[in-house]
Every structure is written in structure tokens, then in C-alpha cells.
Amino acid sequence: MLWAILTGALASAFGLVLPVPVDATLGLLADCASPVALFTIGAVLARSQIMAQEGQAPTVPWSDVLPVVAIKLLIHPLLVLAAGLFAQAMDAPLADSALTVMVLVAALPSASNVSMLAERFGANNGRIARIILVSTAMAFFTFAAAVALMTG
């Protein structure tokens, strides 16, 4: 992922344009990224449930999921807001619109690529997938509240 980001940044910085067939293919891949991520999370959740039923993996209690979700959806955006307001009070060149964007990005749910990284590094992928699922569901409410807070 790091190489893709760096390559894209360099190509953009130098104004490089991809040939039309390559650009169209990359556009198709970009369009399918979200459905593939959702499928992957569903597969990980199903696999972790099956493994837990067979005794091959520990079950994931809510006490392992809910605190992380609360920190991600509530504490994280509030800390970003506090840091941004502090920076503005210290006369940092931080526009209100930039602070709004920073807080709203912090208020987004856990990203689905975290599940992929958890799998790669041997973490409890079932726990991670549940955190992603719950944070995504709860973000319907908390993100709307963050938008109302930042724009109202």
C-alpha cells in the first residue's frame, strides 16, 4: 500500500498521465474496492465465527470490541478537535474549514484495510472485523452528530 501511495503521489506531482486503457482498468479496480472490502470483512467474520464454534479460535466478547469503538468514534474526534482548537489558539495557520475536515475524518469508522493488516501480522482478525462492523454501524449516528457539531 505504501508503494502505491508513493507512486501515485509522484505521478501526480510530475503530471504524468496514464494511457487510456490503463486508466480505464484502474478506474474499474477503484470502483470495485468498496464491495471487495465489504466481502472480505464478511468472510473474515464468518471464518472467525466458524473457528470459534470449532474451538480453534477464541470468541470475541463485547468487552473487547465496544471500548475500542467508543475510543475511535467519540474520543478520537474530540481529541482532534481539542488539538485543533489549541493550535488555533496558539495562532497556528489552521482554518476553520481545515479543522472541520480533520475532525470529520477522525470521526469516520475503522477502515476495512485494518482487517487485511491484522491478517498479515497475525492479530485476532475476528476481533478486528467485529470492531470494523460495529464502528461502521455506529458511525451512522456518531458521524451525523459530528457533522452537526462542526457545521452547526
pLDDT by position in tens, the chain (length 152): 678 888 888 988 999 888 999 989 988 988 888 787 777 777 777 777 777 777 777 777 888 889 999 999 999 999 999 999 999 999 999 999 999 999 999 999 887 677 778 778 888 777 888 888 889 889 999 999 999 999 97
pLDDT score recorded for residue 1: 65
pLDDT score recorded for residue 127: 82
SS3 per residue for 69-131: HHHHHHHHHHHHHHHHHHHHHCCCCCCHHHHHHHHHHHCCCCCCHHHHHHHHCCCCHHHHHHH
CB neighbours of 51 closer than 8 A, spacing ≥ 6?
Answer: 57, 126
With 0.75 as the threshold, say if the pTM is over it: no
pLDDT score recorded for residue 45: 73
Report how far residue 24's alpha carbon sits from residue 18's, in angstroms, rounded to the nearest whole number. Answer: 9
Q: How do the domains of the chain map onto residue ranges?
A: 27-151
